[in-house]
Every structure is written in structure tokens, then in C-alpha cells.
Structure 1
Amino acid sequence: MNKNITTNKPESLDFDLFLELFQATPDLVPNPDTKSHIKAKLMQRVAQSQGAQFFVFSEQGHWKSINQGIQIKILKSDTQAKSFLLKLEQNTIIPYHDHQKNEETFVLDGEVWLDGIHCKNGDYHFAGAGTFHKEIRTENGCTLLIKTY
């Protein structure tokens, strides 16, 4: 008696057949651009998995204007954290805003008013996730190092 039984289980490939197919498949050599791209991606993943070190020198990267009087230069950005420089020209104001993540601000150059507190070179400010900033303003301009996480 022959019964047809249907299952949702996929059939597995016989290992000997798999080896024959593998050995019969010709080696493919990617073109130099593809090879270079694959290597760069692989090295990036290896570096990320090992708590990589890297540098961003002052002449590297680029400043992007995000609003009148405000420029940003991203140093590092991933799904968990972002580090960037923020340059505010003289008489610039960033309005009231909230923080989705923790934010650390370090004044590298100039002076700025953060939540009504006057901060100068070397001053540090922490704003926790869920908190609000009153306006941020500068009369003479400043450069800030900001990290969110």
C-alpha cells in the first residue's frame, strides 16, 4: 500500500550530492572594485566587533550647515550613539527642545548659555534622556563636542 504523505518539512540535500555540486562549481574571482568593497565591509565589521579604535583628524570629514548659524561635523554615528561637533556662529540661538537620549556637551571653544547657565571653554553639561533644554544661545560663537547615547 502506497500512501502519499505531505509534510511541511523541506527535504535535505544528501551530503555526498552537496559535495559533488560544490566541487563542480567553478571558483569566481570578483573584479578589483568588488573585492576592495567586500574587504572594506569585512574589515569594518571586524573592527566593530572588537571595540575598534579610529581617529578623525581636524582636516577629515566635513562641516554641514543644518540651520542658519549652525554647522555640524559627525565624528561617529551608529544605532546606539552619536558623537559630533557643533559650531554656533555669534548670536545664534537653538530653541527649546527635548532629549530622546542622554546627551553630554563639552565646550571646546567660545562660550554658550545652556539652560540659563553660562559655560566657557572646558565646561561640561549632561542632559538625561527625557529632559528638556531651554534655549541654547551664544553671543560670541562657540564649538561644542556633543555625544548622545
Structure 2
Amino acid sequence: MSTDQLPPPRPAPDPLDDECLDLLAEPFASAWQVGAARPPILRERVLERVTRSARASSAFVTVRCLHAVPLRLAAGVEARTLYDARGGVARPGEPARVRIVELAAGARWLPDLLPGMVCEWLVMDGAVRFGDLLLRARDFHRLPADAGLPELHGIDRARLYLREAPVVDTAGAAALTVHDDPARWDDFAPGIKRRVLWSRGGEAALLYHALPDAQVPRHGHGHDEECLMLDGEVFLDDVLLRAGDYQLAPAGTQHGGVSTDTGGLLFAHGDLDLDIRAE
């Protein structure tokens, strides 16, 4: 199944976006109450829903790509930090740093990696060369700690996801490259296929491809679950992720449900098998 079959995204409002909160203020608030004779009025219901949503998502870290400030790393190279462990010290299973790195065509960059970290790279779009290795959209590259990395060369304008995490287990520490293959999608749930890029000990890096109206029920997280939206839109509970948006749900938390109106393509690092929980 090719990701080219993914329907064009249909814009949808984010219920927790600051822009939506303006609708709860004047003059809209008063307008909503006109002729509303029976309680509860719409404004109170919306406020209650927003409050519940904010409380439910308080344990998660959600970062809008557009709100992440770009930092110039070299000529034609910028990085947006999506996650940075407090004090630079990550607990087991937590990433130390997650960035989106953007390279202009022809740009070169020698990565400034944190020492002692396992690195995962996913090409979000474009093409880049790692020494003699050419990676294109949806190609995945995993490097063991302190493996070293040659200079990156942007072939086309490219965006790359870069995850750096402490070493937990040195077994199977060889470098791994997984190229995009439209035939390597496995059924996961109704309307959802996935591709396992790497896994060990119940932890995995995966791509999920969801059709419009697909859903995943309530589930818990045995490992930190990181989600990066590549295309389309997905609701994690009431939090809407659009392309480039990122969320980390720490181990021990749960999502009440995942759904999409538009369909989408999502990269995740977390549990190989979700802990599906009854309502």
C-alpha cells in the first residue's frame, strides 16, 4: 500500500489552540447566550470540555513545529528543537533531545551529536547523503552510541527528524538502515497499517498510515511514546497534531483514544505492542 493513496488533509480546528480560545471571549460569548433558555449554555459546555482536555493532556509534552524557534547550525542548515530533557539528563527510555533539522539543497553539516547517545534519523521529505549513504523521504537510519557520522549533504531541500537517547542496552548495536518500501505495510487495526522500522525488548520505532475515520481505542504506555506527525492530522485524545507537530507521552500514562478525520502518516517511538485497555 503506497502512501501516495493518502487523501489530501482536510483542515480541522485544534480545540486546545490559543486561537480557538478567542471564541470564548467577548463579543462571541454573549452572542452564544442569546436565546439560550435551557442550561447548560454552550459557553459553559465548551469551557468544561477545554478544562477536561487540558487536565487530561497535562502529563504530555506537545510541541507545535511552527512554534519551535529555528536555530542556525551552518550555512543553509537550521534545527527546531521539539524536546530537550531537563538539565540534559534523560531518565531510562526518555529521549535526551529531539530535533527537526532542515537542510537547503547543497548545504553541508557535520552533526553536533550529544556524546553517548543512540541516534535515530528519519527523512521527512527531500533527500540527503550520509557519506556514501543516500536517504530519501521515509528512509530510517539508526546509529549506535558514539558511532560517528560523516558530513551530511543536502541533495534536495530536506527535513530530518533526529532523536538522541541514552544507551539502555548495547545488544544489537550495529547501524541499521531501512529504506522506504510501499510493500512493507502490515495491517494493524481497521483502517490503519504500520511499518516496524526497529524493535527490541518491546520498544520500537514505527510508521503508522491511517485512513480517514480510523481509530485506536484507549491504551497505556509501557515505554515513553513519541509521535511526530508527517502528513495529515490526528487527534491524540482532544489534542490535534498537524504535520511537523510532536507529542511525548511518558511511560505510565495513557491515551483515551486516537482518531483521525482526514487520515495521516505518523512516526512513533514507543511500545511495539500497545496496551489496549477496556473503557
Cα offset for 1:97? 1.1
Partner of 2:185: 63
Q: Which residue of 2 aligns with 1:86?
A: 208
**CA RMSD across the alignment:** 2.2
The residue type equivalent to 1:65 in the other structure is: D
The one-letter code of the counterpart of 1:142 is: G
How far off is 1:80 after superposition?
Answer: 5.9
Match of 1:113 in 2: 235
Secondary structure at the aligned position of 2:193 is classed as strand
1:64 and 1:74 map into 2 onto residues whose CA distance is 9
Q: Report how far residue 131 of structure 1 moved.
A: 0.3
Rg comparison, structure with higher value? 1
1:139 aligns with 2:261: yes
| Matched residues, number | 103
Shift of 1:51: 3.5
Which consecutive residues of structure 2, in runs of 5 or more, have no partner in the other structure? 1-169, 272-279
Q: Structure 2 matches for 1:9-24, cutoff 5 A?
A: none
- Name the structure with the higher helix share: 1
1:30-49 paired onto structure 2 within 5 Å? none
Report if the CA contact (8 A) 1:87-1:144 is conserved.
yes
Q: Secondary structure at the match of 1:55?
A: strand
Matches of 1:81 and 1:97, distance apart in 2: 15
Q: Which runs of 5+ in 1 are unaligned?
A: 1-47
Q: Percent identity?
A: 30
Q: Structure 1: how far apart are the matches of 2:241 and 2:177?
A: 27
Q: Give secondary structure in 1 for the equivalent of 2:184.
A: coil
Give the TM-score taking structure 1 as reference length. 0.63
Structure 1 segments of 4+ aligned residues over 3 angstroms from their partners = 48-51
SS of structure 1 residue aligned to 2:177: coil
- In structure 1, how many angstroms separate the alpha carbons of the residues matched to 2:231 and 2:182? 19
1:116–1:134 contact (8 Å) kept in structure 2: no
CA distance in 1, matches of 2:203, 2:214: 26
Give, as a single letter, the amino acid of the residue that structure 2 aligns with 1:107: M
Q: State the match for 2:221 in structure 1.
A: 99
More strand by share: 2
